[in-house]
């Protein structure tokens, strides 16, 4: 028995508070033996309880806290006089199915805002609608505040209206009542702690729910009141609920693809996504706005500035981390980040940043797709051009060439309304987590409306000039003059923003969405869009109409291109369009050959090579310039399932591979995984001789029914970018 001074007005009266030694027991009783102010008592008791409860890490409910406004017989408050909540049933199975959250594998309550959910509350006595009152308290963030919508007091109403916080009793069964609860389409997303406050004529009681009954609130693409509403069920299934996708890579003339496990429903991933938001140190009161959330995620997926998820690296040396081509999905990356308490994971490149971003945003409920732009410009000075500088002898000036064109670049599109912009700018928004340039001092990019990018409205938020340049820039060749100035000697158009690709809805086919980013080349709409954008660039007079050319130069590669380990052959064709002779060979083919011995030590991760040609036509001084990139094709892993796939029954896959190189592969490692099949596992194989064939078997037991994908990748110092996938349908 602990004696505490009563906050009431009567002297010599005391509150006798019975505290159980274990604060996690079901009942904490605070009887009052005197008449005091209810408001003062409530405040005082709350302070006592919060101080007491903060000293322990409780994993279960602290039970009801009761307050009595009047004196009781024999100086004691009888708790049976009060109507207290005894337990909560959040009806997870039913709510999850209705809210499209039944795929989340954690045993938690995951709901979507702006949609009714239900719960059963068991009381100590039957509920009296005429005399009793009940409120739900939902709190999120470190310092919940009503004014910031992070402390929500849900009132009990007679009839639900919708799109606001409210609750109604829809069924009564003795001491149990069933509530239907609504939330607004602007509710803050995140983890809410639930408290039930009941009031009857005899006093007030507060029941703090078990942390396992916390409510995880997400965005809702199924609700018209949510700004991420997407009015197409097939697209919602793809862009929110599909946990496996395709990411495109390669070059514009050699488009490749790889399977990526997003795994947004895997155990612990939702907690990790919310941890990422928390680690951003942004106010959780702003987490109800998807524009704000995707901007936070864009910054936090890279480690620049804020110790985010992934360290980017492009040097080819990945000592102390994982080669970017070795990852098969996002789950392992996010699990490492969470387990290390926020230590950035090494290493990522654009497709890894894009894959992880898709996982995080789909997990939070924002429709998202992974997008690949072939021949993607990186404009560093907002000139909307890619500037290449050469000296008097046509040799490149390395320290001035800051702009570049990547053979491909991966980013994301997210679907949302943009009430902060003029009408017509809602829908798909480009978001890029790869750290390229800063935006308002932070390495992030977007959301940039695709409508604004298409129309050249680069003055709209966020980062439209950079994204516009990625898909529209001209490559301009500047030559240094004798006095140190530079003259523009060549402009190459239509070289960037090609075959912009994403996975098709409902299939593994490639969907070309270039038309959503730019008008058709040469159209009047395209001319106006480019002129509009250039007028806001750092070099507004750069855009010019095309000029006639006597001679054109074209590089040709036959078929799908050479295989890694084989010699590479390219054909350079010069064509004279004039009626006069030029100092070039008309329709003569020049064949360039590059042997494996010459290129093997120059390769980067993607097996990519670049041919750069510069020159002039003698008679006219016309400049000829072009760059032609190509990939050396790597072999695939061949994966063959063995046995009948059934949940809970062991099965096997065979993974076959042939070494294509004229040298031995050293220290070969495989990375295998499959959502619903097996978690990420590494298989150390060893060495594989030149042209040697190996077969590796892997046993596993499927855990989920339905269409699944077994994904594998191979890595060693001599060979990367080797992948394979097998479709497996698992019976229940």
Strands 427-432 and 404-416, bridge-based pairing: antiparallel
Q: Which of 432, 498, 715, 716 is catalytic?
A: 432
Residue 50, classed as helix, strand or coil, is helix
Would residue 53 show up in a list of annotated catalytic residues for this protein? no
Contact 555, 571 (CB under 8 A): yes
Would residue 350 show up in a list of annotated catalytic residues for this protein? yes
- By residue count, the chain amounts to 732
How far from the centroid of its chain's Cα atoms is residue 538's Cα? Answer: 32
- CA separation for the pair 138, 425 (Å, rounded): 34
Which tokens is 149 given? Answer: 């919508």
Q: What is the DSSP string of 309-335?
A: SEEE--SS--TTS--GGG--BSHHHHH
Contact 665, 648 (CB under 8 A): no
User: Which residue is it, tokens 């000697």?
Assistant: 489
Give, in degrees to the nearest 5, the angle at Cα 70 between 64 and 73: 95
Name the burial class of residue 111, with classes exposed (0-12), middle (13-18) and buried (19+) by CB atoms within 10 angstroms of its CB. buried
Q: What is the dihedral of CA 261, 262, 265, 271, to 10 degrees?
A: 130
User: Which residue is it, tokens 């524009």?
Assistant: 291
Contact 434, 376 (CB under 8 A): no
Please name the residue ranges forming H helices in 584-672.
Answer: 596-599
Contact 478, 390 (CB under 8 A): yes
| CA atoms within a 13 Å half-sphere pointing along the CA-CB vector of 719 | 31
Which tokens is 367 given? Answer: 């429709």
Contact 176, 170 (CB under 8 A): no
Give, in degrees to the nearest 5, the angle at Cα 517 between 514 and 521: 65
User: 284 phi and psi, to 5 degrees?
Assistant: -70, -15
Residue 127 gets the label, from left (phi > 0), alpha (psi -120 to 50) or beta, of beta
Q: What are the start-end ranges of the E strands in 38-116?
A: 63-67, 85-89, 109-112
Q: What are the start-end ranges of the E strands in 262-336?
A: 310-312
- CA separation for the pair 313, 434 (Å, rounded): 10
Residue 10 gets the label, from left (phi > 0), alpha (psi -120 to 50) or beta, of beta
Q: Is 472 annotated as a binding residue?
A: yes
Please name the residue ranges forming H helices in 444-513.
Answer: 450-455, 464-472
User: 271 phi and psi, to 5 degrees?
Assistant: -60, -35
Residue 403 gets the label, from left (phi > 0), alpha (psi -120 to 50) or beta, of beta
Q: Which of 350, 445, 498, 534 is catalytic?
A: 350
Contact 14, 44 (CB under 8 A): no
- CA separation for the pair 659, 691 (Å, rounded): 5
- CA separation for the pair 68, 84 (Å, rounded): 12
Q: What are the start-end ranges of the E strands in 47-148?
A: 63-67, 85-89, 109-112, 117-123, 133-139
Would residue 68 show up in a list of annotated catalytic residues for this protein? no
Q: Which of 99, 100, 137, 409 is catalytic?
A: 409
User: Which residue is it, tokens 């039957």?
Assistant: 126
Give, in degrees to the nearest 5, the angle at Cα 462 between 457 and 465: 50
- Asked if the bond preceding 666 is cis, omega within 30° of 0, the reply is no
| 590, containing H or E segment | strand 589-594
Q: Is 601 annotated as a binding residue?
A: no
Q: What are the start-end ranges of the E strands in 464-567?
A: 474-480, 486-492, 498-503, 510-512, 551-556
- CA separation for the pair 300, 305 (Å, rounded): 9
Binding residues: 472, 474, 521, 526
Task: Tell me the catalytic residues.
Answer: 350, 409, 432
Binding residues for Ca(2+): 472, 474, 521, 526
């Amino acid at each position: 028995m602990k004696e505490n001074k009563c906050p009431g007005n009567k002297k010599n009266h005391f509150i006798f508070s019975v505290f159980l030694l274990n604060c996690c027991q079901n009942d904490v009783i605070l009887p009052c033996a005197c008449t005091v102010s209810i408001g003062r008592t409530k405040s005082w008791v709350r302070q006592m309880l919060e101080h007491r409860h903060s000293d322990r890490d409780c994993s279960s409910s602290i039970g009801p806290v009761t307050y009595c406004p009047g004196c009781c017989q024999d100086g004691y408050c009888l708790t049976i006089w009060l109507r207290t909540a005894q337990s909560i049933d959040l009806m997870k199975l039913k709510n999850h199915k209705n809210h499209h959250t039944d795929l989340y594998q954690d045993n938690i309550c995951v709901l979507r805002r702006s949609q009714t959910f239900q719960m059963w509350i068991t009381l100590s006595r039957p509920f009296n609608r005429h005399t009793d009152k009940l409120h739900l308290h939902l709190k999120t963030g470190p310092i919940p505040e009503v004014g910031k919508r992070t402390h929500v007091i849900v009132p009990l109403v007679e009839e639900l209206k919708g799109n606001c916080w409210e609750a109604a009793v829809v069924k009564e069964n003795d001491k149990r009542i069933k509530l239907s609860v609504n939330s607004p389409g602007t509710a803050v997303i995140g983890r809410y702690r639930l408290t039930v406050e009941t009031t009857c004529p005899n006093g007030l009681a507060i029941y703090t729910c078990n942390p396992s009954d916390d409510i995880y609130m997400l965005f809702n693409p199924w609700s018209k009141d949510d700004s991420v509403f997407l009015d197409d069920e097939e697209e919602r299934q793809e862009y929110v609920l599909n946990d496996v996708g395709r990411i495109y890579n390669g070059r514009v003339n050699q488009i490749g693809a790889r399977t990526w496990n997003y795994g947004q429903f895997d155990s612990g991933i939702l907690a990790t996504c919310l941890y990422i938001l928390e680690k951003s140190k942004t106010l959780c009161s702003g987490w109800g706005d998807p524009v704000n959330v995707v901007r936070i995620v864009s910054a936090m997926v890279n480690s620049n500035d804020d110790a985010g998820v992934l360290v980017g690296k492009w040097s080819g040396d990945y000592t102390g981390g994982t080669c970017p081509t070795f990852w098969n999905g996002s789950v392992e990356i996010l699990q490492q980040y969470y387990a290390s308490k926020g230590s950035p994971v090494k290493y990522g490149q654009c497709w890894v940043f894009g894959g992880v971003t898709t996982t995080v945003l789909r997990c939070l409920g924002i429709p998202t797709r992974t997008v690949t732009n072939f021949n993607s410009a990186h404009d560093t000075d907002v000139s909307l051009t890619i500037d290449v500088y050469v000296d008097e002898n046509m040799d490149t000036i390395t320290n001035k060439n800051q702009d570049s064109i990547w053979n491909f670049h991966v980013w994301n599109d997210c679907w949302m309304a943009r009430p902060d912009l003029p009408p017509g700018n809602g829908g798909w928004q480009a978001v890029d987590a790869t750290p390229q340039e800063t935006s308002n001092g932070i390495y992030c990019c977007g959301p940039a409306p695709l409508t604004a990018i298409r129309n050249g409205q680069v003055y709209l938020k966020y980062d439209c000039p950079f994204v516009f340049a990625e898909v529209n820039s001209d490559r301009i060749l500047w030559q240094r003059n004798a006095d140190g100035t530079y003259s523009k000697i060549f402009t190459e158009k239509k070289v960037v923003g090609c075959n912009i690709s994403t996975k098709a809805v409902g299939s593994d086919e490639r969907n070309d969405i270039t038309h959503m980013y730019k008008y058709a080349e040469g159209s009047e709409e395209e001319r106006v869009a480019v002129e509009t954008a250039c007028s806001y660039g750092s070099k507004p007079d750069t855009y010019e109409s095309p000029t006639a050319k006597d001679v054109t130069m074209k590089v040709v590669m036959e078929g799908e291109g050479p295989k890694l380990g084989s010699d590479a052959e390219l054909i350079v064709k010069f064509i004279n369009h004039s009626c006069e002779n030029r100092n070039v060979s008309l329709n003569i083919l020049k064949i360039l050959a590059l042997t494996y011995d010459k290129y093997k030590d120059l390769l980067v991760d993607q097996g990519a090579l670049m041919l750069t040609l510069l020159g002039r036509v003698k008679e006219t001084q016309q400049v000829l310039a072009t760059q032609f990139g190509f990939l050396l094709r790597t072999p695939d892993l061949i994966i063959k399932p063995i046995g009948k796939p059934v949940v809970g029954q062991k099965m096997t896959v065979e993974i076959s591979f042939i070494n294509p190189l004229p040298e031995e592969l050293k220290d070969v490692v495989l990375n295998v995984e499959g959502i619903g099949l097996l978690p990420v596992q590494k298989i150390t194989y060893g060495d594989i001789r030149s042209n040697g064939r190996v077969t590796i078997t892997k046993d596993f037991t499927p855990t989920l029914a339905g269409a699944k994908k077994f994904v594998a990748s191979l890595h060693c110092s001599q060979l990367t970018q080797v992948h394979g996938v097998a479709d497996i349908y698992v019976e229940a």
